Amino acid sequence: MKNKKHLFIITSTLPLTYGGRTNSLLQRARLLTENKTPIKKVTLATCNYNPNYNEIYKDYREKGTVNNKIDFINMYDWFKASYQKDKLKNMSFPKKLKKIFSKKTNNNYKTYIKNTFGNDTYEMKRKKSSPITYYYKDGILIYHLSYNIKENRMGHIDVYSGYLNHPKKRMYMNDEGNFHKIRYYKDQTKHNIIRDVFVDENMNTYFTREFYYEKDILKTKKDILFKPDGSTKTFKTETDLFAYWFNLIFKDGNKIISDARVLDGGLLQIDKNVTRFFQAHGPHLHSPSKPNPKIKKGFDRLSKKIEAEDDYIITLTEGQKVDMIERYPRLENKIKVIPHCMLTNSMKVNYQNVIPKKISIISRLVPIKRIDHAIKAFSEFLKERPGYTLDIYGTGEELSNLKKLTKKLKLNNNVTFKGFTDNPHDIFQKSEFTLLTSKFEGLGLTILESIVNGCPVISYDIKWGPNEIIESHNGILVEDGNLEELKKAMIFMADNPFDRKKVVKIDKKFTKKQFLKEWTRLLK
């Protein structure tokens, strides 16, 4: 295919451990660069601050999550690198000295401590097991070191003012022990964060974020970008900051997919001749199943502002498309449906792997997933069909509450929290069936993953996705929130095992071939 194009995929973050949204983003990038499409290269552009992105990129490459046609770029790293590059360009040094100057210097915390406080300090731990060590000089607390137990390295230094019992600044370290960000505080213990200052390896400041409080909520007052020539650029909103960066990195003719609503405003503001696609991963409504649900602000803004002829909103389901058009009739020709796809050709399903009486859930453990519904229904199911186990895979803020519920219902011998898994296919093939009890979904990727592994699914009939995937041969739909019906569905599936060889058959709209066909049509 001639005249192949450069595709950017912009997103809020690329985490080391991720769920369905990031997984689908990465799969899309791979498929579009590994098959016959109009795309020759994909750049994944992130807009959050993460000093350890290089380690994440390395992990993605080592695991084969990305290929050699996929690159990365981060807004903060770009600003930092641009500062250093422009600073060198403005220097009148000979080439040899420029080369020396351009080498990264070490602003390691040990050097800072020695130069700032000297060696004649006294150290103290208030608890033997504490990760924090306090340092005194002349009887006054001057700083403390905090060890990052999770990452097995130093985390930050808190520097004290000498006469108050709380720090005036916190200096954050990366995994090399070098400073990358400094947070400043007011002389008070509550609502005291003033600003974050971002520094490069030479301790040059390239970016500052100033804060204020609205009641108890910390909010950004303004962002300031510093340039080597002494000039600055100030941004009153994050959207303006994104738009400024996008205008710098994008060129006429680029194709851009926005995978996060927080970035849409900035993308719509740019003055380049680009083609934009706004990928919807979740519902556009706050509570899709409730009467007269409110529209999310991000979707409302996007739906009102999208104008260009070749710009489209991409939904995962027909149901969501229909609902959006009902609310915004002007979008009738601006929405395309492209579901997630399953790479069934690479699947090796062993139908003999099933462990009798094993039920599984793979999910983030967060409130919207309503794992407590599954546990409560399982508790009642167990009374009628004893001997079953429920294995829950995933991590999240609800873990502690779910463990308490399990203990309260006396299910400790039957419900097990397995933590994060990077091998869901094996789990699905070993399970009799899986459960999905979310409040809402964009599509329900875990349903598709379960089905292509021959494992039937019981799911609440929620907006949107499950009722476009689940059919009589691969699962059961249950009235949203009905625990009694959920229990009955579990009993039926336990007593009437599905033919797993029929379960694996999926609609062609979820195939790789159809996925590539739809995206190729848009990206030409």
The domains of the chain are located at 5-78+239-337, 109-236, 344-505
Report the pLDDT value the prediction gives residue 167, as an integer from 0 to 100. 92
> What are the φ and ψ backbone dihedral angles of 357, each rounded to 5 degrees?
65, 25
Residues 452-480: what's their mean pLDDT?
95
Could you tell me the pTM of the whole model? 0.87
Q: Does the 5-78+239-337 domain belong in CATH 1.10.8.60?
A: no
Q: 151 exposed, middle or buried (CB, 10 Å; 0-12, 13-18, 19+)?
A: exposed
Total residues found in the chain within this entry = 524
The token pair at 138 is 């002349």
- Average pLDDT value over all residues in the chain: 91
pLDDT in tens, 95-105: 544 444 444 55
Strand blocks (E) in 269-353: 275-279, 312-315, 335-337
Q: 380 exposed, middle or buried (CB, 10 Å; 0-12, 13-18, 19+)?
A: middle
Q: Does the 344-505 domain belong in CATH 3.40.50.1000?
A: no
Report the pLDDT value the prediction gives residue 97, as an integer from 0 to 100. 43
Angle separating helix axes 75-90 and 95-102, nearest 10 degrees: 150
Instruction: Return the residue matching tokens 């930092």.
Output: 80
Where residue 301 falls among pLDDT bands split at 50, 70, 90?
Answer: very high
DSSP-derived 3-state class of residue 224? strand
Q: Is the pLDDT of residue 322 over 60?
A: yes
pLDDT in tens, 266-277: 999 999 999 999
What's the CATH fold of domain 109-236?
Answer: Outer Surface Protein A; domain 3 (3.90.930)
Q: Is the pLDDT of residue 89 over 70?
A: no
Whether the domain at 109-236 and the domain at 344-505 fall into the same CATH topology: no
pLDDT in tens, 325-373: 999 999 999 999 999 999 876 678 999 999 999 999 999 999 999 999 9
pLDDT in tens, 101-146: 444 556 788 888 998 998 889 999 988 889 999 999 989 999 999 9
Share of the chain above pLDDT 90, in %: 76
In the DSSP assignment, the letter for residue 35 is S
